[in-house]
Amino acid sequence: MIDVVGIGFVVATLLVYIGIAVKMKAETVEEFYVAGRRVSAIRNGMATAADWMSGASFVSMAGAVALLGYDAGPFLLGWSLSYVLLAMLIAPFLRKYGKYTIPDFFEDRYYSKIARLVAVVMTYVVSLTYLTGQLAAVGVVLSRVFGVEKSIGALIAPLLVLLYSSFGGMKSITWTQVAQYIVLITAYWLPIVLVGAMLGLWNPIPHIAYGSIVGEVDRLYKQLNVLEGHTWTEPFVRGIGKGSGELNWLLTTAGLMFGTLGLPHILMRFYTVPDVRQARMSVAWSLLFIGLLYLTAPVYAALASYKILQDLYAVAMPLNGQPIEVVKEALMKEAWVRKWMVTGLVGVKDLNGDGIFQYPKELFVHKDIIVLGLPDMYGLGALVAAFVAVGGLSAALSTADGLILAMTTAATHDFYKTLIKPEATEKEEVRVARIAMVIIAIVAGIIAYLQITNPVIGAYVAKTVGWAFAFAAATLSPAIILGIFWKRTTKEAAIIGMFVGLAVTLPYVIGVELGFIKPVEVLGSKIGSIAWGVVGFFVNLIVTIIVSLLTPPPPKHVQKLVEDIRKP
C-alpha cells in the first residue's frame, strides 16, 4: 500500500522538478553560473534554505535533539545563527564584488592564482564529502519507496540530479530548489500540525504549547532512569564530537558558525540576487526559512521522545534481567514499535551477548526514527508517512544540486576557463560545464555506492562531513572576512594563514575522532573535534594579521577593489 502511494508521490515530485528545469534552461554563462542575477531576495532565501538543509537536517536533526536534549543546541544554534554573521560580514560584499565563484574572489582579492587554486581545492574538500552523504540519503529513501537496494539507490541518485540540473545550471537549480523547499517544509510541518491538533497544542502554536510535554519527558527521564538520573533538558551532561562540558558546547556552536561562513555552495547563492540590498534581505529570508525547520525540530524531538519513553522504556524497565526474546515480544505489542523493529531503527541489542536484557543500555533507538516514525507513533497513517519520505528526498536532492553546481563551477570557471583555456568562448564554457557536471555526479555516485557497500569507507565518509566545517572555519572563512574588512591583508599572509589553519586543525580533528589523540581538557571541558575548528579559525586570523604586517601592502588596484566592495 505504501508502495503505490509512495511511488506516486516520488514520481510526481520528480516530474515537477524536471519540468521546472526544462522550462528554466540556461543559455548564457551568466545564467548558468548566477541565474542571470535576477533572483529576488525571497526566492533566493528559499533556494538557500533548501541548499542548506540537507537530507540529514530533515531526517536526523530532530533525532539528534531527541537523543542529546539540550546538548544538541550547538547544531540548532550554530547552523542557524551563523546567518546573522553572513548577513553582516560577507553576503552583501560578495554581491557587490559580483563575479561568479568564490575562487574568483580569492584570485582578485589576493592577486594570485595560487589563492584561487587553494580555494578550488577547499571547495572540493568541503563539497565532495558533503555530497556523498546526500546521495546516500537519497539512496535510503529510494530503497524505502521502490524496494531497490540502498546502494543502487545511491547510484541512481546523481542521475536524478543530472536530469534537471545539467539543463540549466544555477538558473534551473534556483527554481527547482524553491519548489523543493516548499515540498520539504510542508512535509516537515504536516505531522506536527496534525499531532498538535490531536493533543490540543494549537494554543497558540505547538512550538510554544509543547512545554508541558517537554516537562513530561524530563519527568519520565528521572522516573525511568534513562540517563543516570539526569534529565533531558539538563545542560552539558552529554558529549559532542568526542568532547564534553560547557566550554565544548560553546566552542562547538562557534565552530559550526565559522565553518558555515566558508561553505562555497552557500556563498555563491548570494551572487544571484540583483543588488546589495537584496543580498542583505535574502540572508534574512534564508534564516527565516531555515528557522521554520529548526524551530520545529525540538517539537518533533519532544513528541517522539514522549512516545518512545512510554512505549519502549516504560515497558522494558521492569523486564531488566529477563531473556532478550521476552523483552522483544513485550515491546512488539505496540503496533508502531513492531513495524519499526523490522527496519532496525528501534529494538533491543544484546551488547554483551549473554542473552540477558540489561536496562537501559541494551535498548536501542536510532535517531532517524524521530522524523520518519512520528506519523506511525501517533497513528497518522501511510499517506502522511509517505509524504514525509518525499520531503526527506527533496531535502537531500536540493542540497545535492547546489553542491554539484559548486564543484562544476570550480572545475569549469576556475580551472578550465582561468587556468587552462582562457580564450574559451561562452558557448564552449557552458558545454564544458555540462560535461563536468556529468562527470562529477557520476564520481560522487560511485563514492556514495562505496560508502554504503563498504563499511570502512562508510565510517570515514560519515566523519568527514563534520570535519568539513572545521576545515572551512580554519581556512576559507578568515581569509574572506579579513579580505573584506582589512585592506592591509596581503596574499602571502592569506595563503600562509590558510595552510597554518589547516595544519593546526587537521591532525587534531582526525586524531581525536579516530582515537589517536586524547581531547585537550580546559576548565573541566573536553574540547571535541568540531569545537577545534574555532582554534584553527583564530590561529589563522592571528597568523594572517602578523604576516600581513611583515609583507609589503597589497597593490593599489587591490586596495581600490576592497574600497569598491564596501560601497553599496
Partner 1 sequence: MVADKIERLYWRTVLTITSIFTIAWFIVTYVVHAFAPQLHKIVVNGAPLNWWLIQGSISIGIILAFLYALVMNNYVDKKFYKNRESGR
Residues 111-170 close enough to bind partner 1 by CB under 8 A: none
Rule CB under 8 A: choose which of 98, 360, 458, 511 binds partner 1. 98
Cβ closer to partner 1: 236 or 538?
236
Near partner 1 by CB under 8 A, which window of 91-99, 166-174, 380-388, 469-477?
91-99
Q: Count Cα atoms within 13 angstroms, Cβ side, for 60.
A: 12
Per CB under 8 A, 323 contacts partner 1: no
Distance of alpha carbon 447 from alpha carbon 135, whole angstroms = 9
CA distances from 453 to 149, 152, 459 (A): 10, 10, 11
CB 186 within 8 A of CB 395: no
Does residue 468 contact residue 499 with C-beta atoms inside 8 Å?
A: no
Q: Given the complex with partner 1, which of 203 and 420 has the nearer CB atom?
A: 203
Q: For residues 44 and 270, is the Cβ–Cβ distance under 8 A?
A: yes
323: helix, strand or coil: strand
Do residues 5 and 142 touch, judged by C-beta distance below 8 A? no
Residue 84 binding partner 1, by CB under 8 A:
yes
Name which position in 7, 89, 156, 330 contacts partner 1 (CB under 8 A). Answer: 89
State the nearest-atom distance from the C-beta of 320 to partner 1, in Å: 29
Q: Which of residues 334-393 bind partner 1 (CB under 8 A)?
A: none
Give whichever of 233 and 358 is closer to partner 1, judged by the CB atom: 233
| DSSP at 351 | T
Per DSSP (E only), the strands in 262-418 are: 346-348, 363-365
- Looking at residues 202 to 261 of the shown chain, list those that interact with partner 1 (rule: CB under 8 A): 207-208, 211-215, 218, 233-236, 246, 249-250, 253-254, 257
Question: What is the 8-class DSSP label of residue 334?
Answer: S
List C-alpha distances in Å: 202 to 109, 186, 385.
52, 17, 22
Contact between 70 and partner 1 (CB under 8 A)?
yes
Cβ proximity to partner 1: between 287 and 447 the closer is: 287
Question: Which one, 254 or 319, has the nearer CB to partner 1?
Answer: 254
User: Which listed residue (20, 34, 87, 117) binds partner 1 by CB under 8 A?
Assistant: 87
What is the rounded distance in angstroms from the CA atom of residue 23 to the CA atom of residue 18?
Answer: 9
- Binding to partner 1 by residue 514, rule CB under 8 A? no
Q: Does 563 bind partner 1 (CB under 8 A)?
A: yes
Please confirm whether the linkage preceding 191 is cis (ω < 30° from 0).
no
**Minimum distance of partner 1 from residue 359's CB (angstroms):** 26
Which residue, 95 or 109, is less far from partner 1 as judged by CB? 95
426/563 with CB nearer partner 1: 563
Nearer to partner 1, 84 or 351 (CB): 84
Q: Give backbone dihedrals phi and psi of 170, rounded to 5 degrees, phi first.
A: -60, -35
User: What is the pattern of x (binds partner 1, CB under 8 A) and - over residues 287-316?
Assistant: xx--x--xx--x------------------
The three three-digit cell numbers of residue 431, written as one number = 558545454
424 Cβ contact partners less than 8 Å away, ≥ 6 residues apart: 416, 417, 432
- Candidate residues 85, 224, 382, 442; the one interacting with partner 1 per rule CB under 8 A: 85
Cell numbers placing 282: 535574502
Other CB atoms within 10 Å distance of the CB of residue 231: 18
Does 277 interact with partner 1 (rule: CB under 8 A)?
yes
The upper half-sphere exposure of residue 353, i.e. CA atoms within 13 Å in the direction of its Cβ, equals: 0
What residues make contact with partner 1 under the rule CB under 8 A?
A: 70, 73, 76-77, 80-81, 83-85, 87-89, 92, 95-96, 98, 207-208, 211-215, 218, 233-236, 246, 249-250, 253-254, 257, 274-277, 280-281, 283-284, 287-288, 291, 294-295, 298, 563, 566-568
